[in-house]
Structure 1
Amino acid sequence: MILSLALEQLLNGLQLGVMLFLMAAGLTLIFGVMGLINLAHGSLYMVGAFACAVVAAATGSFWIGLAASLVCAAAAGAIVEFLVIRRLYDRDHLDQVLATFALILIFSEGARWVFGSFPLYLDIPPLLSGAVPLPGIEAYPLYRLAIIGVGALVAFGLYLLISKTRLGMRIRAGESDREMIAALGVDIRTLYTVVFALGSALAGLAGALVGALQSVQVGMGEPVLILAFVVIVIGGIGSIKGALVGALIVGLTDTLGRFLLPSLLGLILPASTAGAVGASLAAMLIYIVMALVLAFRPRGLFPANA
């Protein structure tokens, strides 16, 4: 029974890690290519979740809603880049932080005005409902397994995009020397818009997938944004490989820490105290891991231009 529960929590950690990877991959692409700190990335996660919930409710199809989340998040990202972000590239990071924080407030109040303050709910599609038996686990939700699979496919797709395509070549060049590729005739503004829209679409996809596991509500992107920043700091800013490894580390550390620490502390402390102390330590654990990584690898585990 204990082994089954541990394996289930391990898979939950993988699922959380995959979701964080979808967020962090777009965030690290944007920072790596543009040098932009985008605090509004969590708002694009929220846009994807709301788009999926609304379109799925209107059409009765989760899959159409999922496609809508990609389109709406990418379109919102492209519009934001064109209207606001484009004016921030040559400004210092403080200006970028202030401007993108303002975008958080605009997106949050806009979503509250359009959808209200009450949460929306997104049903798991019938094809992925229910649970399946796995080795060592009596039954595990099929939808969570599907999220893990989607994350693996996206990671492989990003690898092919970055390493095998002309667009990927331009993205890698933009990370290394944006002035040089502009001098060679690459339309750097179009490249920036494409990268920002791609990162936004990944955030929207994450929001749509998670929306079926929890309620879709205003402000849902900010807690995830904090974890995404932890991921890219651990993995290395600008590195897709680092984002994947960092996301898995954070997902597994957070999930297994919340599962194991109260039990381990229960061996030396009263049950009530162990639960409270264990929960507090588990909430701190990913930040402790981040501090340790920064102490020994200040640029992260897999810095982009190492």
Structure 2
Amino acid sequence: MSDVILLIFTGLSVGAVYFLLGSGLALIFGLMRVLTFAHGAYLTACAYAGWLVLRRSSLASPPSVASLLLALLVGIAVGGTLAFLTERILLRALYKRDHLDQLLITAGLGFSLVALLNGVWGPDNRAVPTPAWFTRTTTDILGAHIARGDFVLVGAAILLLVALEVFLKYTRHGLVVRAGVENREMVRALGIDVRRSFTLVFTIGGAVAGLGGVLAALYANAVNTSIGDSYLLYAFIVLVVGGLGSLRGAAIAAVAVGLLQQFANFYVNPGLGEILSFVLMGGMLLLRPEGVGGKKGRLI
């Protein structure tokens, strides 16, 4: 029983990181119809930013809660800034062109940013100074030793989902975003500048990726230049299975993919869970292409 409980929490933690990255992609595709390959690079860059903050704070003493919060804020700021600059400088000129151009330029940006990080710090793992309470186990749950970091990851994903839904339902900018998803031309006819919504949504997506990058580095206790690409692959699976543009669908898919990977890898064969994730995506595309979230482009 303890193995099952541990696998559930591990799967939820991994799924939480998938959602933190996939929710940003869902937001961006929901309004902008842009599939960006740069989000993995954002996650990597923000993971390194968080690592630098934690490494600096740990020179005199072990990292504290304050230093962890600072690392998260720096990661969010770096991710949001990178996304803002990407949208304003690169993507804004390509909205009226073929989607392939958008894919190519975001992929090129992602490769370039990762290559830059690789040139500065190299491909080797860098240990991330982690607060002791983050890795310390909590009170046993049915015999399973659960680290506090698992609760932090799952809690962050839940809070993010709630915050995004509140933003989309109850704020003016959120209502503009949802209206733009349903009928972009009508929003423009009302005199609303949809381009500002594009910039806002892309910035939020990058900030969320930054949060996920720092938390992923803490969860793994290490950072390297491939961390973003490994998560980006499964974030796209979550995006497809959940339904392109659906936040709730992305949350459900992230949990399903995370649990599927952990249980298949533990009870059957290591690596099988990753294969089954692709099988799940292929089956969803064949049987229910709109995903578990329903209509494509639906943000809620």
Does TM-score exceed 0.5, indicating one fold?
yes
> For the residues of structure 2 that align with 1:40 and 1:31, how far apart are their CA atoms?
13
Q: For 1:16, which of 14, 17, 41 is the aligned residue? A: 14
Which residue is 1:233 aligned to?
A: 240
Which residue is 2:61 aligned to?
A: none
Which residue is 1:165 aligned to?
A: 171
> For the residues of structure 2 that align with 1:58 and 1:123, how far apart are their CA atoms?
9
Contact 1:8 1:137 in 2 (8 A): no
Q: For 1:260, which of 252, 259, 267 is the aligned residue? A: 267
Of structures 1 and 2, the larger Rg is shown by 1
Quick one: structure 1 residues 51 and 41, their matched pair in 2 at CA, closer, same or farther if it must change by over 3 Å?
Answer: same
Which residue is 1:57 aligned to?
A: 55
Contact 1:56 1:63 in 2 (8 A): no
Equivalent residue letter for 1:52: G
Shift of 1:85: 1.4
Which residue is 1:35 aligned to?
A: 33
TM-score, normalising length: structure 1: 0.89
Equivalent residue letter for 2:2: S
Contact 1:28 1:237 in 2 (8 A): yes
Contact 2:50 2:71 in 1 (8 A): yes
**Are 1:74 and 2:80 matched, yes or no?**
yes
> For the residues of structure 2 that align with 1:80 and 1:230, how far apart are their CA atoms?
23
Q: 1:244-300: CA deviations, max 9, x gaps?
A: 111111111111111122xxxxxxxxxxxxxxxx33533311112222222221111
Contact 1:35 1:89 in 2 (8 A): no
> For the residues of structure 2 that align with 1:238 and 1:120, how far apart are their CA atoms?
34
Contact 1:111 1:218 in 2 (8 A): yes
Which residue is 2:210 aligned to?
A: 204
Q: 1:80-129: CA deviations, max 9, x gaps?
A: 11111112212222212211111112101221233344433222223434
Query: Which of 210-219 and 229-238 deviates more?
Result: 210-219
Shift of 1:230: 0.5
Q: 1:162-210: CA deviations, max 9, x gaps?
A: 1121111111112112222122122222211110010001111111001
**Are 1:94 and 2:100 matched, yes or no?**
yes
Which residue is 1:270 aligned to?
A: none
Which residue is 1:128 aligned to?
A: 134
SS of equivalent residue, structure 1 residue 109: helix
> For the residues of structure 2 that align with 1:138 and 1:28, how far apart are their CA atoms?
34
Unpaired segments of 5 or more residues in structure 1? 262-277
SS of equivalent residue, structure 2 residue 95: coil
Equivalent residue letter for 2:39: H
> For the residues of structure 2 that align with 1:280 and 1:23, how far apart are their CA atoms?
22
Shift of 1:135: 2.9
Query: Which of 178-187 and 33-42 deviates more?
Result: 178-187
> For the residues of structure 2 that align with 1:126 and 1:167, how far apart are their CA atoms?
40
Which residue is 1:46 aligned to?
A: 44
Q: For 1:139, which of 127, 145, 160 is the aligned residue? A: 145
> For the residues of structure 1 that align with 2:229 and 2:284, how far apart are their CA atoms?
23
Shift of 1:51: 1.0
Q: For 1:291, which of 260, 282, 288 is the aligned residue? A: 282
Q: 1:127-171: CA deviations, max 9, x gaps?
A: 434101243134211111111111111111111111121111111
Contact 1:124 1:143 in 2 (8 A): no
> For the residues of structure 2 that align with 1:52 and 1:162, how far apart are their CA atoms?
28
SS of equivalent residue, structure 2 residue 101: helix
Q: For 2:223, which of 216, 220, 226 is the aligned residue? A: 216
Quick one: structure 1 residues 284 and 118, their matched pair in 2 at CA, closer, same or farther if it must change by over 3 Å?
Answer: closer
Which residue is 1:149 aligned to?
A: 155
Aligned length: 288
Which residue is 2:3 aligned to?
A: 5
Contact 1:53 1:122 in 2 (8 A): yes
**Are 1:279 and 2:270 matched, yes or no?**
yes
> For the residues of structure 2 that align with 1:90 and 1:37, how far apart are their CA atoms?
15
Contact 1:13 1:248 in 2 (8 A): yes
Equivalent residue letter for 2:12: L
**Are 1:193 and 2:207 matched, yes or no?**
no
